[in-house]
Amino acid sequence: MILADQYVRFKREARAFCREVIEPRATMHDLTGPFVKENVQALAERGWLGIPWPKELGGMGLDYQSYAMAVEEVSRVCASTGLTMAAHTSLGTYPIYKFGSTEQKEKYIPRLARGAYLGVFGLTEPNAGSDAAGIESTARKTEQGYVINGSKRFITSASYAGTVIVAASLDRKLGRKGITCFIVETATPGFKVASVEHKLGLKGSDTAELVFEDMLVPLNSVLGKEYDGYRIFMETLDGGRISIGAFCLGMAQCALDTMITWFNDREMTQLQSKALADVAVQVEAARLLVYNAAQIKDTGVRVDKECAFAKLFASETAMWACGVAIDAIGPLAITDDMPVARAYRDAKLGEIGEGTSEVMRMIIAKDVLKEAKESC
């Protein structure tokens, strides 16, 4: 695709940085599993933990398209680092930037942007994932603050967080209308990281379970307004899906990179040449959808359908492209020497996190019908 000069330059520099600084540690993280701490530190030093936030708040003041490109390039060489960056920015920081008070923004965003700690998003619970309106964590208002009880599951980077956006219900009888979001500092008594998951892939990304036991948070820790939590996390997830699309695009590109390197000085059969061409086309189509969603977001318009397009297509492309690359190259492609073997395992999360493929299809079908009705 043709990109404006500023993006061509940004991407070229991003690629060079990722190859030089992020890629060398990727295999080690995959094989031995420690959290990608040094890579996160390198992102922080480059300003990449706050790409889309204004400079006054410590960000880089760049647009969402640049941010999506950065996540793509990081994930192309190390998906664990890409997911950590995407979750921190789109889930852990965006809601504070978009819905926080001036006081909350000035307190938290500069720290998050410079990487003083990671920001995370606690929505999913043991009995509430796709049906996020069914969360069971509760918040009770008192004169001293809100007392939160409950638990959260599969929370990215939770063991390394300084703040967590916690969704809890002030009144469970109200269903989704009872939900409120809170900014919780992880040093708060009653906050506990209960366990860490061992996963199929993304070995360098932390995924943990959180427990809140009579956790008292101040009255001014409400994000936005009381009872407005459902709208806040739904809008947060929309933007998050662009970064998950970019993360998947990076892994799909990794499959294509591996094929290009492998077939560069080898004779290809007709089937191998078809496989290479098909992967190249699908990766480009995924890129168009991801960049399109990012560009629309940059205009300030809400983009649920386009975000769902980007996430659904890029995640299924990443899984498919890694499989095709492995089939075309042969058994060597599943050894630890080949980055596509790692990407094949890492890519599965793309079809699950921030809404499964089934949920994306439900959003798309609903939006398409609504648009058709409105245009009649």
Ligand X SMILES: Cc1cc2nc3c(=O)[nH]c(=O)nc-3n(C[C@H](O)[C@H](O)[C@H](O)COP(=O)(O)OP(=O)(O)OC[C@H]3O[C@@H](n4cnc5c(N)ncnc54)[C@H](O)[C@@H]3O)c2cc1C
Catalytic residue numbers read: 354
> Does residue 130 belong to the site contacting ligand X (CB under 6 A)?
yes
Judge residue 352's burial from the number of C-beta atoms within 10 Å of its C-beta, 0-12 exposed, 13-18 middle, 19 or more buried: middle
Q: Which residue's CB atom is positioned nearest to ligand X? A: 129
Whose Cβ is closer to ligand X: residue 84's or residue 292's? 84
Whose Cβ is closer to ligand X: residue 17's or residue 97's? 97
114 close to 175: Cβ distance less than 8 angstroms: no
> Does residue 352 belong to the site contacting ligand X (CB under 6 A)?
yes
Q: How far apart are CA 194 and CA 144, in angstroms?
A: 26
> Does residue 121 belong to the site contacting ligand X (CB under 6 A)?
yes
Residues in 242-301 that interact with ligand X by CB under 6 A: none
Residues in 138-157 that interact with ligand X by CB under 6 A: 154-156
287 close to 1: Cβ distance less than 8 angstroms: yes
Binding mask 152-181 for ligand X (x = CB under 6 A): --xxx-------------------------
Tell me the one-letter amino acid at 150: G
Closest distance of CB 12 from ligand X, Å: 31
Closest distance of CB 357 from ligand X, Å: 7
Whose Cβ is closer to ligand X: residue 242's or residue 349's? 349
Whose Cβ is closer to ligand X: residue 166's or residue 333's? 166
Whose Cβ is closer to ligand X: residue 72's or residue 125's? 125
Closest distance of CB 202 from ligand X, Å: 6
Closest distance of CB 352 from ligand X, Å: 5
Stretch that binds ligand X, among 37-45, 124-132, 276-284, 326-334 (CB under 6 A): 124-132
Whose Cβ is closer to ligand X: residue 81's or residue 156's? 156
Closest distance of CB 329 from ligand X, Å: 27
Residues in 36-95 that interact with ligand X by CB under 6 A: 87, 91
> Does residue 124 belong to the site contacting ligand X (CB under 6 A)?
yes
Closest distance of CB 122 from ligand X, Å: 6
CB count in 10 Å sphere of residue 228: 16
Interface with ligand X: number of residues (CB under 6 A) = 23
Closest distance of CB 233 from ligand X, Å: 8
3-state secondary structure the chain: CCCCHHHHHHHHHHHHHHHHHHHHHHHHHHHHCCCCHHHHHHHHHHCCCCCCCCHHHCCCCCCHHHHHHHHHHHHHHCHHHHHHHHHHHHHHHHHHHHHCCHHHHHHHHHHHHHCCCEEEEECCECCECCCHHHCCCEEEECCCCEEEEEEEEEEECHHHEEEEEEEEECCHHHHHHHEEEEEEECCCCCEEEEEECCCCCCCCCCEEEEEEEEEEECHHHEECCCCCHHHHHHHHHHHHHHHHHHHHHHHHHHHHHHHHHHHCCCCCCHHHHHHHHHHHHHHHHHHHHHHHHHHHHHCCCCCHHHHHHHHHHHHHHHHHHHHHHHHHHCHHHHCCCCHHHHHHHHHHHHHCCCCCHHHHHHHHHHHHHHHHHHHC
Measure the N-to-C terminal CA separation of the chain; round to a whole number of Å: 33
Binding mask 221-250 for ligand X (x = CB under 6 A): ------------------------------
Judged by CB under 6 A, the residue of 52, 239, 250, 353 near ligand X is 353
Judged by CB under 6 A, the residue of 51, 279, 349, 363 near ligand X is 349
Whose Cβ is closer to ligand X: residue 39's or residue 156's? 156
Closest distance of CB 345 from ligand X, Å: 12
Contacts with ligand X, residue ranges (CB under 6 A): 87, 91, 120-124, 129-130, 154-156, 199, 202, 207, 349, 352-356, 358-359
